[in-house]
Amino acid sequence: MKYFGPELNQQEAEDYVERWRKLTPQERQEAEEIRVWSLCDWIYWFEPQNSSWTWCSVNAIDSKKLEFILEAEASPIPMGAMDFLLRCFDAKRIDAGR
């Protein structure tokens, strides 16, 4: 997996948002799964003032499974940055207890 893509300029960002708004919820989910984030966009969501969740703990369930515990302020939780991080580490499946 390619970890980070190039930064979008203003026009590219506006075009992306325009295309995004036309997608169905299913299409948005599929697009998120293949999205390549820019480094700055990704880091932005881990800044405490920009995140709606707090990292609490990680538990080893077995030799192939980890459980990440996050505390959220509200629901639904924007989890794109965390999902991307887990995919970078070759997560095979991400189950969110939403």
What sign has the CA pseudo-torsion 47, 50, 56, 61? negative
pLDDT, position 14: 92
Tell me if 80 is assigned to some domain: yes
Tell me if 83 is assigned to some domain: yes
State how many domains the chain has: 1
CA distance to 19, 21, 38, 55, per residue, from 96 (Å):
26, 23, 23, 14
Chain centroid to CA 61: how far?
22
Tell me if 27 is assigned to some domain: yes
pLDDT, position 2: 60
Residue 78, token pair as written in the block: 């924007």
pLDDT per residue rounded down to tens, the chain (98 residues): 467 889 999 999 899 889 989 999 889 888 877 878 888 888 887 788 887 778 888 889 888 888 888 888 777 677 777 777 887 777 777 776 65
pLDDT, position 23: 93
Tell me if 29 is assigned to some domain: yes
Tell me if 5 is assigned to some domain: no
Tell me if 3 is assigned to some domain: no
Measured in degrees and rounded to the nearest 5, phi and psi for residue 88 equal -60, -30
> Residue 43 is part of which domain span?
10-88
